[in-house]
Homo-oligomer: A and B are copies of this chain.
Amino acid sequence: MSNNLSFQVTSIDETTKARAGVLKTPHGAIVTPIFMPVGTQATVKTLSPEELTQCGCSIILANTYHLHLRPGDELVAKAGGLHAFESWAGSLLTDSGGFQVFSLRDISKITEEGVWFQSHIDGSKHFFSPERVIEIERNLGADIIMMFDECPPALADVAHIENAVDRTIRWAARCVTAHEKTPLRHGNAQALFGIVQGSIYKPLRERCARELVSMNLPGYAVGGLAVGESAQDLYETALFTCGLLPENKPRYLMGVGTPENILECIARGVDMFDCVLPTRNARNGTLFSWNGKINIRNACHTEDFGRGLDPSCACYACKNFSRAYLRHLFMAGEVLAIRLLTLHNIHFYMDLVKQARGHIAGGTLGEWKDSARETMKGERGGGAGGGGRGRVRVFP
């Protein structure tokens, strides 16, 4: 299989399963563990590529489903692929759209061949199959492309999950074949990652991992989590599934999660994360910090002129603006509010994984993680669960 990745584990934490490494793509080196901001529609919402680079981002996501519908993957291909289209010099990963089309349950028809679904934008009908998704991901041209998998609903019973695992395995084989057969579109080889499904059921995770590992893919994702299971189930499943995957391949936990989730899953052997939390929460006024969550709508920030969101943060928002000003912008519905809050949250997530990497190299990940989790339980008054709620304003 044509591959463009190299991955090397550079250090292993002694007290946990955490490891640090370097993943190389045609668009640069990514130090792991890494957080990948979500750029669904070919933009990480509200931020410029320059700001992402300043935050330390080396790889971002985009979504096959959304870009196929708008502006269309053929159009992106004509632009020279996603890197050129969105002017992003770093690495890119495209999710396959499996999660999205299986979420459109009422307007999807699922067969062994693939999934018919209706666009959420204009109701037009579209068909995704393993082969079609690989074709679209070729057009988009990301460095890492995800296989098309079956994503069962959060509350599916075990029989449903088992069927989804079996289909995911069959579709993985079709993705591999399609990937081998289709030519490169933009000069770069694209690494196809497998997705291990199986919910919280260990025998299903085992079966899925065994089959996908036998395909010798360049990387593996843990899918089907972050769909409402308990933190304990998440952590157990992440630990168990990482144990089934090759030591020398990157492991990507899809859609996870809170800062606490990320630290715990790093400790269980995960190398790569993505989540909409930092960007989406920013648009709702919720900020992450080393001292806990902050709800910028809270009245306690009204006259807080003396400090930014997080005194230890070096982002442009924290270096230049008080909580009082950020709250004013947010309450007044000003776009600069969600720009600055998003910038801060992404900077925080990048700082989180950066500090984790340092502690893995130093062999202190376990201890540091526990103390960081303790301080992140929250500052008094300003926390998201704190007093005044203000007027809730949800930005686009």
Contact = CB atoms under 8 A, between A and B. Distances in A.
Contacts of A87: 320-321, 325
A339 B328 contact: no
Contact of A329 (B43, B80, B302, B339): B43
A51 to B, nearest CB: 10
A316 B322 CA distance: 27
B79 A336 contact: no
A319 to B, nearest CB: 9
Nearest to A319: B87
Interface in A19-48: 41-43, 45-48
A324 to B, nearest CB: 6
A302 B71 contact: yes
Contacts of A322: 79, 85
Given A324-B75, A328-B71, A305 B45 contact: no
A84 B328 CA distance: 14
Interface string A48-66: 1110000000000000000
Contacts of A333: 396
Contacts of A84: 305
A314 interface: no
A152 B333 CA distance: 30
A338 B335 contact: yes
A284 to B, nearest CB: 14
B332 A70 contact: yes
Given A42-B325, A86-B325, A396 B320 contact: no
Contacts of A78: 303, 305
B85 A48 contact: no
**Most B-side CB within 10 Å, residue of A42, A80, A328, A331:** A328
A41 B332 contact: yes
B45 A334 contact: yes
A326 to B, nearest CB: 11
A47 B340 CA distance: 10
A336 B85 contact: no
Contact of A305 (B48, B50, B79, B395): B79
A69 to B, nearest CB: 10
Nearest to A325: B85
Given A80-B305, A85-B322, 18 more contacts: A41-B329, A41-B334, A42-B325, A43-B329, A43-B334, A45-B334, A45-B336, A46-B339, A48-B316, A50-B316, A71-B328, A75-B303, A78-B303, A79-B305, A85-B328, A335-B335, A335-B396, A339-B339
The 9 A-B pairs with the shortest beta carbon distances in the complex, nearest first, are A71-B328, A46-B335, A87-B320, A79-B305, A43-B336, A41-B332, A43-B334, A85-B325, A87-B321
